[in-house]
Amino acid sequence: MSEDQRTLTTRQGHPVSDNQSLRSVGERGPATLENYQFIEKITHFDRERIPERVVHARGTGAHGYFEAYGRIGDEPATKYTRAKVLTRAGKRTPVFVRFSTVIGGRESPETARDPRGFAVKLYTEDGNWDLVGNNLKVFFIRDAIKFPDMIHAFKPDPVSNRQEPWRFYDFVQFHPEALHMVTWVKSPWGIPASYRQMEGSGVNTYKLVNDEGVAHLVKFHWVPKAGVKNLTSQQAAEIQAKDVGHATRDLYEAIERGDYPEWEFCVQLMSDGEHPELDFDPLDDTKRWPEDQFPLLPVGRMVLDRNPPNVFADTEQSAFGTGVLVDGIDFSDDKMLQGRTLSYSDTQRYRVGPNYLQLPINAPRRDTRTNQRDGQMTCYVDQAGENPHVNYEPSSMGGLEEAPKRGRDHHQWVEGHLGRYQTSRTADDYKQAGERYRTFEDWEREDLIANLVADMKECPEHIRLRMVWHFWHCDEDYGRRVAEGAGIDLERALKLPPLEGKPAPGRRREAPTYTS
**Is 53 near ligand HEM (CB under 6 A)?**
yes
Q: According to CB under 6 A, which residues from 391 to 420 bind ligand HEM?
A: none
Closer Cβ to ligand HEM, 139 or 478, answer by number: 139
Pick the catalytic residue from 56, 63, 175, 180.
56
Binding mask 114-143 for ligand HEM (x = CB under 6 A): ---x-x------------xxx----x----
Active site residue 56: yes
**Is 343 near ligand HEM (CB under 6 A)?**
yes
The stretch among 187-195, 343-351, 358-366, 488-496 that binds ligand HEM (CB under 6 A) is 343-351
C-alpha radius of gyration, the chain, whole number: 26
Closer Cβ to ligand HEM, 22 or 145, answer by number: 145
**Could you tell me the CA-to-CA distances from 143 to 139, 272, 430 in Å, in that order?**
10, 20, 18
**Is 66 near ligand HEM (CB under 6 A)?**
no
Residue 181 in contact with residue 175, Cβ under 8 Å? no
| Euclidean distance between CA atoms 380 and 362, whole angstroms | 14
- At its nearest, how many Å lie between ligand HEM and the CB of residue 99? 7
- At its nearest, how many Å lie between ligand HEM and the CB of residue 77? 23
Burial of residue 377, with CB atoms counted within 10 A of its CB: 0-12 exposed, 13-18 middle, 19 or more buried: exposed
**Is 336 near ligand HEM (CB under 6 A)?**
yes
Q: What is residue 129's three-state secondary structure?
A: strand
**Is 317 near ligand HEM (CB under 6 A)?**
no
- At its nearest, how many Å lie between ligand HEM and the CB of residue 56? 3
Closer Cβ to ligand HEM, 280 or 344, answer by number: 344
Q: According to CB under 6 A, which residues from 178 to 237 bind ligand HEM?
A: 203
Closer Cβ to ligand HEM, 202 or 328, answer by number: 202
**Is 263 near ligand HEM (CB under 6 A)?**
no
| Euclidean distance between CA atoms 504 and 463, whole angstroms | 19
Active site residue 175: no
Closer Cβ to ligand HEM, 87 or 307, answer by number: 307
Residues 6+ apart with CB under 8 A from 474: 179, 183, 430, 433, 434, 437, 505
- At its nearest, how many Å lie between ligand HEM and the CB of residue 155? 13
Total interface residues for ligand HEM by CB under 6 A:
27
Closer Cβ to ligand HEM, 334 or 475, answer by number: 334
Q: Which of 91, 98, 137, 207 touches ligand HEM by CB under 6 A?
A: 98
Strands 206-209 and 71-72 turn out to be unpaired
Compute φ and ψ for 98, nearest 5 degrees.
Answer: -120, 125
Query: DSSP letter string over 261-294?
Result: -EEEEEEEEEESS--TTSSS-TT-TTS---TTTS
Alpha carbon 98 to its chain's center: 9
| Euclidean distance between CA atoms 208 and 325, whole angstroms | 11
**Is 344 near ligand HEM (CB under 6 A)?**
yes
Compute φ and ψ for 275, nearest 5 degrees.
Answer: 55, 60
Closer Cβ to ligand HEM, 133 or 328, answer by number: 133
Pick the catalytic residue from 128, 134, 135, 362.
134
**Is 323 near ligand HEM (CB under 6 A)?**
no
Q: Which residue pairs, CB below 8 angstroms and at least 24 apart, start in 130-133?
A: 130/320, 130/321, 130/322, 130/324, 130/325, 131/202, 131/220, 132/202, 132/320, 132/321, 132/322, 132/340, 132/344, 133/200, 133/201, 133/202, 133/203, 133/220, 133/222
For binding to ligand HEM (CB under 6 A), which residues are involved?
Answer: 53-56, 59, 98, 100, 117, 119, 132-134, 139, 144, 147, 203, 318-320, 336, 339-340, 343-344, 347-348, 351
Catalytic residue annotation:
56, 134
